[in-house]
A and B are shown apart, each in its own frame.
Chain A
Amino acid sequence: DTEVTQTPKHLVMGMTNKKSLKCEQHMGHRAMYWYKQKAKKPPELMFVYSYEKLSINESVPSRFSPECPNSSLLNLHLHALQPEDSALYLCASSHPGLNYGYTFGSGTRLTVV
């Protein structure tokens, strides 16, 4: 298995809703990442988990809450989002310290109404 699987592919949520994005990989990668990408912009790093521990939080608002239950799963819990949070959310994984780059998931297209 050489893929990163993200669900759902599309999500529409109201500003008072609570939802979660899920990411799963079975490549044995021990680093996992959340990126946010707005239209026509490069991906922006949100969070990094290394060996299931949060190692980087790029000053992301608390309405985004990451969780790494085990080495294969990464969640992003969403609560009280704003319309400007609408974006493509990308999950990626890699071997920490090895030169193979990231494997990206297909992304979740999030729309906040």
Chain B
Amino acid sequence: ELKVEQNPLFLSMQEGKNYTIYCNYSTTSDRLYWYRQDPGKSLESLFVLLSNGAVKQEGRLMASLDTKARLSTLHITAAVHDLSATYFCAAQNTGNQFYFGTGTSLTVIP
């Protein structure tokens, strides 16, 4: 079974600061996804990373994938309050199943 670990589990950061969330997975997976979840809501797709070296950016968020290191990162630039949410990474195996990371609960403080 593909195991996915995220860190940190909780992140409190000040507005305007930068930070990175890390996602490690245990076995080969060429497909890595990032989702955002607001309290009580469903999962919103942020990024789909399909190959080694892939980098995607949307606003203040940038995601990257290193398949050799089995590592994906979600970098937050100049955080704003609206980014407060829980962020999940998910790795996909060849059977098309998703395995979710533990999630990172992000709180941006004014």
Contacts and interface: CB of A to CB of B under 8 A. Distances in A.
Interface of A: 31, 40-43, 45, 48, 50, 56, 88, 90, 94, 96-97, 99-107, 109
B88 A42 contact: yes
Interface of B: 31, 33, 35, 40-43, 45, 48, 50, 86, 88, 90, 92, 96-98, 100-103, 105
A97 B98 CA distance: 12
B42 A94 contact: no
Contacts, number: 49
Contact of B97 (A41, A45, A100, A109): A45
Q: Is chain A's binding surface mostly helix, strand, loop or mixed? A: loop
Nearest to A31: B96
B42 A106 contact: yes
A103 B45 CA distance: 8
